[in-house]
Amino acid sequence: MSEFLHRDCPACGSSESRSEVRAGKAAETMSLDALRPFWAGLFKEKCFFSYHRCVACGQLYNPVFFTPGQLGELYARMAPNMDAVGDAAIVATQQGYFARAAANGGLSGGYLEIGPDVGHIVRSAAQHGGFDRFWLFEPNVAIHDQLRASAGGKPALLSTGMDDLSPVLDGSVGLAVMVHVLDHLLDPLAMLAQIRAKLRPGGTLMIVTHDESSLLRHVMGKRWPPFCLQHPELYNPATMKALLGRAGFADVTVEGSRNVFPLDFLVRQAAWAAGVRIRRVPLPPVPVGLKLGNILTLAKVPAQAAARSPMLEAAE
């Protein structure tokens, strides 16, 4: 045994798994101290915990990973998100996410988001939705003022916690949102069960994650960027649907989502991948929408309030 956490499948609890993706530098063979510079992204060399596939349910996950205490410490030292692709592209991408959720209805009651960052989707929700209250769980205190402003003067409760939703009124939320959050959580099922309890009957949960069954993943192999120290598990449409079903959600749809990038950024990335270094690209930063192996999942709480999560019942 090492200083790290050893765990069973986070989706179904089975202990049987097969190794599927192993980094040149397998994190489970290293010490916490040796991993710190890799966590901070100081080296180009790929380093992550080995991903196994659950034999029982097909979930891809790390049987060995950081403990909750180690994670808390690592995230606390992490530099705030660097907007490498530029703010306009991020805003356009996130507005696209909100538009997709809006098409699904449920734009009233409370708005709940885990990891909203500076609040791009919050701003859209405050402008275009009929939400009466915003519940925002964002660990980065440095951006709380910006986040609060994005709620546009609507009542907003901000919290730095990421795993305890108890301040939120049960059955009050019309739309809950998690963009690139679920695959960072050690216990995704517990978070989904909490969110389900906060949603009102007919309420919607929107999740954006990477897709480990995407073409990009298969083309890039272990160089696929989401194989990293920050993702203790990764999803595909089937495992996402199964997990949400286990947490008591219904009407689950999973679709490819669109990321918007400035054209000059894409050209630079393509050149970099080809081994050519381009400092300045003489192209306008035209936004381009691409489906790049991310999936957007929508799930509903059954309209009948009496329906309860099978998992919660089992826990009682």
The residues binding Zn ion (CB under 5 A) are 9, 11-12, 14, 54, 56-57, 59
Shortest Å, Cβ 175 to Zn ion: 29
**For Zn ion, which is the closer residue by CB, 109 or 248?**
248
185 vs 187: CA distance, rounded Å: 5
**For Zn ion, which is the closer residue by CB, 59 or 294?**
59
The one-letter amino acid at 224: W
Give buried/exposed letters for 149-173 (b at 16+ CB in 10 A, else e): ebbeebebebbeebeebeebeeebb
**For Zn ion, which is the closer residue by CB, 54 or 168?**
54
Shortest Å, Cβ 11 to Zn ion: 5
Residue 279 burial class via C-beta count within 10 angstroms: exposed 0-12, middle 13-18, buried 19 and up: exposed
Shortest Å, Cβ 298 to Zn ion: 23
Shortest Å, Cβ 165 to Zn ion: 24
**For Zn ion, which is the closer residue by CB, 155 or 310?**
310
**For Zn ion, which is the closer residue by CB, 14 or 146?**
14
Shortest Å, Cβ 13 to Zn ion: 7
